[in-house]
Structure 1
Amino acid sequence: MPDYLSVLAALGASLLVLVAVAWAVVLMLLLRGSRSGSTAGRTGRTLSGLPRQRQAAPHVESVELTPAEQDAFAGLVRQLGRH
């Protein structure tokens, strides 16, 4: 060990390298495990972190406008059409 390197710095660097190697090994194992299953066998599995998908589309909402609101909307459309 060099004289300018303290014991704590050497232990910290060793621990950091050890944690990085362990993280890489676990990541490789996780990736290998996700690739090993075929796509045909995974059709029934769902992802637990995602919300359930709707089977049908949401209903359409509509609101009836009063004649004054219709006139205001028509005026707004005319103003935006000029630009």
Structure 2
Amino acid sequence: MPEHPSILQLTGVTVLVLATAVWVVGLVRLLRRNRFEATAVRPGDALWALPSQRQTGPGVECVELTPAERDAFDGLVRQFSDGRP
């Protein structure tokens, strides 16, 4: 180390040492907290953020059409099918 370092050099080294110490302490705390939470997770809970699947499908919906609506629907089917039965 130089014999007479400037005040800026001493201040810079001090700030870097303090920032490193704060970073290390924060990292250790974060890793300890996550280590505890990781051990509590079971292997089947890998996708815990997703909702579970439904065991049954949605209810069946049925709407009765009037004859005019049925004719209009048949016309749309013929139009989109290009005359195919």
- Give the TM-score, by structure 1 length: 0.49
Q: Which has the larger radius of gyration?
A: 2
Higher RCO by CA contacts (8 Å cutoff, separation 6 or greater):
2
